[in-house]
Amino acid sequence: MSNLIEKLFNLLLLIICIYGITSAITPLFGYQIFTFPIKFEAIQNISFDYVRLLLLRSCVFLTISIFLFNYAIYRRPYSALAPLVVFSYLMSIFEFLSQFTIQQITDYSSNLFAVVFWLIIAVMAHYRNSKNANTIFKD
């Protein structure tokens, strides 16, 4: 019975991971996905603040998916700073990509300062995390 529950849990993690990746990437193509109720909508005439939330949502979903994927492969968590590292890199990437995608179909204008800010945070946290990960996860 324990094996069945573990397989069910892994299947649910896979479903969440696929949903997270899909929900993170679709805004770059001008669409958004909702779960409750399930709907697929085009992004049109939305405000600047909503686009910021959409980018944040994409980063959160993709961060969750990356950590679920890592857990499925290695069966051990990252150090405490790793989510910040992944999230910061993703924020800089999505902010940069929004210049070529979301900015073309809405009134949103990407900010170069935001890209640089999140990239600086990511690099600093990455450096600090690599030092911590080496001491925490010695084999």
3-state SS, the chain, equals: CHHHHHHHHHHHHHHHHHHHHHHHHHHHHCEEEECCCCEEEECCCCCHHHHHHHHHHHHHHHHHHHHHHHHHHHCCCCCCCHHHHHHHHHHHHHHHHHCCCHHHHCCCCCCHHHHHHHHHHHHHHHHHHHHHHHHHCCC
> Is pLDDT at 135 greater than 60 in this prediction?
no
> Is pLDDT at 124 greater than 60 in this prediction?
yes
The pLDDT-based confidence of 139 (bands split at 50, 70, 90) is: very low
**Is the overall model pTM greater than 0.75, yes or no?**
no
Say which residue, 104 or 88, is predicted with more confidence: 88
Tally the domains of the chain.
1
What is the per-residue pLDDT across 32-91, written as a single tens digit (0 to 9) for each? 887 767 778 888 777 667 777 888 888 888 888 888 887 777 766 666 678 878 888 888
The pLDDT of residue 43 is 80
Question: Which structural domain range is residue 22 located in?
Answer: 2-136
Listed range (8-17, 25-34, 72-81, 123-132) with the worst mean pLDDT: 72-81
